[in-house]
């Protein structure tokens, strides 16, 4: 809150209320979890085993991959409304009768009315899986706050912090949400895990990690565009697109370096690298690679359900996501320089 007041964005009308609601919403989510754990303290003794975790620089196919894998009933994920109101997952056919589900759906509709172009870039649905970021932000030590608002003071503080407490909080949260589905494997996704692989593996030592890859010259402007759309809600036309470009270039260049360093000391067999282009060209073949590498069973029924989702292509239902590199000051040469080691390591030149 100090950073928002002292060096934060120049709020548009309604912008300060939007920021305040984001902070209060995270506190409400945290309080909901605390109350849930008070009622269901036994879940803390259940450690999630071999979660399948998707990560990668944003806009490298993590969301499409996550949604496709979520079709498989052997997995359970963090449905959006349960990240907002953590609780043991109720039977799915009762969800629409829950006031908390209704509130989440209404909140999303209000968000997309304020930023309609966001649906084409990154649609979010109350009853579908969402990112771990929605849980991790509830500890207020998260990349989300620095990407959602212009708060350089907060960013400087955040980069010096350990997110290990946030990952322990994540483990508690998924234990509560999955209390009635403890036999199912967790499917988790968050680009920010790239920055925090040591914390992820300390909390989930047997994690199975899929890292997605795409030329950052294409990925970074796409990310900057998504963030600029979201920031317009609080900042209006005062959004500094070049500032967003600079921050995200630095942030994800650091993340890619941190991930390379961390993976050098982590078990290689617990990682699988997937290029976005390969996934787009052959999504079902990519699924076969993932399941084979980690030893998950892939049934004919699940394969057919995945084919149906690919054919429906819900990620493209709202049109094309349009942007340019220039509006964010992201010169290809500068991106390649910062990501040189990453691009060489994963053959992205």
Q: How much of the chain is in helix, strand and coil states, percent to nearest 5?
A: 65, 5, 30
Distances from the Cα of 307 to the Cα of 28, 71, 124, 299, angstroms: 38, 10, 21, 12
pLDDT of 316 reads 66
The pLDDT, as a whole number, for residue 314 is: 65
- pTM for the predicted model, two decimal places: 0.94
Asked if residue 258 lies in contact with residue 193, where contact means CB atoms within 8 angstroms, the answer is: no
CA dihedral 91, 96, 100, 105 (to 10 degrees): 130
How far is CA 327 from its chain centroid? 24
Cβ pair 207, 68 in contact under 8 A = no
Which range of residues forms the domain containing residue 97? Answer: 2-345
Task: Compute the C-alpha angle 323/190/179, nearest 5°.
Answer: 140
Number of domains in the chain: 1
What Rg, from alpha-carbon coordinates, does the chain have? Answer: 19
Q: What is the pLDDT of residues 272-294, one digit of tens each?
A: 999 999 999 999 999 999 999 99
> For residue 38, with 0-12 CB atoms within 10 Å meaning exposed, 13-18 middle and 19 or more buried, which class applies?
exposed
pLDDT of residue 321: 65
CB 244 within 8 A of CB 230: no
Here the CATH number for the domain that contains residue 287 is: 3.40.50.300
Residues in the chain where the model's pLDDT stays below 50: none
Going by C-beta distance under 8 Å and a sequence separation of 6 or more, which residues neighbour residue 17? none
């Amino acid at each position: 809150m100090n950073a928002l007041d002292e060096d934060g964005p120049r709020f548009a009308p309604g912008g300060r209320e939007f920021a305040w609601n984001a902070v209060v919403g995270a506190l409400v989510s945290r309080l909901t979890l605390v109350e849930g754990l008070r009622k269901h303290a036994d879940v803390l003794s259940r450690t999630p085993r071999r979660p399948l975790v998707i990560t990668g620089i944003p806009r490298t196919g993590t969301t499409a991959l996550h949604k496709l894998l979520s079709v498989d009933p052997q997995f359970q994920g963090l449905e959006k409304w349960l990240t907002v109101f953590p609780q043991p997952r109720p039977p799915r056919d009762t969800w629409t009768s829950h006031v908390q589900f209704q509130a989440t759906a209404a909140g999303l509709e209000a968000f997309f009315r304020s930023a309609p172009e966001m649906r084409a870039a990154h649609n979010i649905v109350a009853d579908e899986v969402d990112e771990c970021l929605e849980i991790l932000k509830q500890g207020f030590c998260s990349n989300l706050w620095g990407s959602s608002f212009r708060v350089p003071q907060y960013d400087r503080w955040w980069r010096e912090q350990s997110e290990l407490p946030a990952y322990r909080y994540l483990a508690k949260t998924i234990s509560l949400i999955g209390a009635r589905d403890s036999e199912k494997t967790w499917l988790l996704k968050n680009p920010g895990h790239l920055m925090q692989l040591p914390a992820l593996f300390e909390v989930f030592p047997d994690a199975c990690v899929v890292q997605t890859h795409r030329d950052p010259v294409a990925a970074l402007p796409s990310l900057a565009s998504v963030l600029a759309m979201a920031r317009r809600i609080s900042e209006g036309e005062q959004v500094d697109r070049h500032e967003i470009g600079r921050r995200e270039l630095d942030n994800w260049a650091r993340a890619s370096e941190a991930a390379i360093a961390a993976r050098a000391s982590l078990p290689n067999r617990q990682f699988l690298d997937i290029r976005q282009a390969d996934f787009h060209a052959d999504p079902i073949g990519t699924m076969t690679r993932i399941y084979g590498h980690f030893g998950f069973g892939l049934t004919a029924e699940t394969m057919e359900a995945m084919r149906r989702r690919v054919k429906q292509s819900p990620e493209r239902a709202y049109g094309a996501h349009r942007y340019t590199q220039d509006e964010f000051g992201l010169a290809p040469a500068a991106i390649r320089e910062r990501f040189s080691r990453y691009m060489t390591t994963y053959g992205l030149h």
